[in-house]
Amino acid sequence: MHLTRNRRALVFLVFVFVLAMPWAVTVAASGGSPPIPGDDWVVVVPVANMYSAPTEDSDVVSQALYGSTVIVLEDKPGWARIQTPDHYAGWLPLDQARRLSGSDPHYASSGKILQVSGLSANLYREPDVTAHRPVLTVPYETRLEFLSEGKGDGAGWFQVRLADGRAAWIDHDDVIVDPRPLSIDESIELGKGFLGITYTWGGRSSFGFDCSGFTQMLVRSRGINMPRDADQQAAWDGVAAIDRRHLRPGDLLFFGSAANHITHTGMFIGHGNFIHDTTYGHPGVKISRLKDQPWTNLLVICRRIK
């Protein structure tokens, strides 16, 4: 009887250990400490999906981009519900971020900053594209911390500190140094560079946007942090209502069955055209004419950024 009791205890301990393993492994991978509500964490994967529930079987509600600081709202084993800088919340797998300590400043928030200027950019362990596979491939707008400028064989390269503390190299031509806000015309030209990029529900990166994620990025390029979803953008206090007869390039367009049921957004670019990321026809970023169907009948709200 004594031996049987010991065996039962051993089986119970093994069972508890197996249940705890995924949580322990995830905590170790993310910096050795579990998330605490209110903590700042930094995203360490190129693009992290945010889910409506702590399971990858749930729908994607948004994305957090590489190097961005997120705030932990609550946690479950292997997951944290986080808030991104645009005040959007969703569940993130813990192994896709790491905890920032009190003495650890937010990544790429001060000093000399590099920003990826193309649709994507590769980072390498040395200033050479042929020696090894990329350490990381990141999307447009990724911000990186400058460490040094390459010399000799490394001329034409920047060394950067990654969000996980490692160092890597990136080609000069893949980044801009200390980026400045774009003008309206520059932001429109930027948008045209994404023509053909496929539509991705919940997407906020050049790997795939959804409609509001694309418009939000164009506005963000002008140094303005706008809400995430189309209905939130239309109701935002940073915009003013305008009549469609008075549209100017850079104005925001909102489509739906009614003003209180917005399902799509885009940006007016002049000459009766607008740029948007749509599922209509072939899904992706395209330029459409406002007078064409279905857009002319679906346009319910026009807004101009104050």
Domain ranges of the chain: 2-99, 113-177, 184-305
32 pLDDT band (50/70/90 cuts)?
A: low
Q: Which two tokens stand for residue 137?
A: 């491939």
The per-residue pLDDT for 10 is 42
Q: Which CATH number fits domain 2-99: 1.10.10.10, 3.30.390.30, 3.40.50.1980, 2.30.30.40?
A: 2.30.30.40
Output DSSP code: residue 196. T
Average predicted confidence (pLDDT) for the chain: 91
How many angstroms separate the CA atoms of 178 and 264, rounded?
33
Name the pTM for this structure.
Answer: 0.88
The per-residue pLDDT for 80 is 97
How many other CB atoms are found less than 10 A from the CB of residue 165?
Answer: 10
What is the arithmetic mean of pLDDT over 64-77?
Answer: 97
Axis crossing angle, helix 211-220 with helix 184-192, rounded to the nearest 10:
140
Residue 231 has pLDDT above 50, yes or no: yes
Is the separation of the CB atoms in 273 and 289 below 8 Å?
Answer: yes
Kindly report, residue by residue over 263-304, the tens digit of the pLDDT: 999 999 999 999 999 999 999 999 999 999 999 999 999 999
Kindly report, residue by residue over 90-99, the tens digit of the pLDDT: 999 999 999 9
Percentage of the chain beyond pLDDT 70 is 89
Residue 125 has pLDDT above 70, yes or no: yes
Are domains 2-99 and 113-177 of this chain identical in fold?
yes
**C-alpha distance from residue 38 to each of 34, 35, 100, 295 (Å):** 12, 9, 11, 43
33 pLDDT band (50/70/90 cuts)?
A: low
Residue 282 among the catalytic residues? no
| Catalytic residue chosen out of the listed positions 2, 106, 132, 264 | 264
Residue 276 among the catalytic residues? yes
Kindly report, residue by residue over 238-259, the tens digit of the pLDDT: 999 999 999 999 999 999 999 9
Residue 20 has pLDDT above 60, yes or no: no
Q: Which two tokens stand for residue 235?
A: 């109701």
Kindly report, residue by residue over 170-229, the tens digit of the pLDDT: 999 999 999 999 999 999 999 999 999 999 999 999 999 999 999 999 999 999 999 999
Least confident of 9-13, 68-72, 104-108, 165-169: 9-13
Residue 106 among the catalytic residues? no
The per-residue pLDDT for 267 is 98
Is the separation of the CB atoms in 253 and 298 below 8 Å?
Answer: no
Residue 191: strand, helix, or coil: helix
| Catalytic residue chosen out of the listed positions 172, 211, 246, 282 | 211
Least confident of 21-25, 35-39, 42-46, 273-277: 21-25
Beta bridge partners of 233: none
Is the separation of the CB atoms in 132 and 98 below 8 Å?
Answer: no
Residues 6+ apart with CB under 8 A from 96: 43, 44, 45, 48
Residues 6+ apart with CB under 8 A from 269: 188, 191, 249, 275, 287
- What topology does CATH give the domain 113-177? SH3 type barrels. (2.30.30)
What is the arithmetic mean of pLDDT over 91-119?
Answer: 92
No. of H helices and E strands in the chain? 5, 22
Percentage of the chain beyond pLDDT 90 is 86
| Catalytic residue chosen out of the listed positions 2, 132, 172, 276 | 276
The per-residue pLDDT for 104 is 77
**Which CATH architecture describes the domain 184-305?**
Alpha-Beta Complex (3.90)
Q: Produce one character per residue of 292-302: b if its CB has 16 or more CB atoms within 10 Å, e if not.
A: eeebeebbbbb
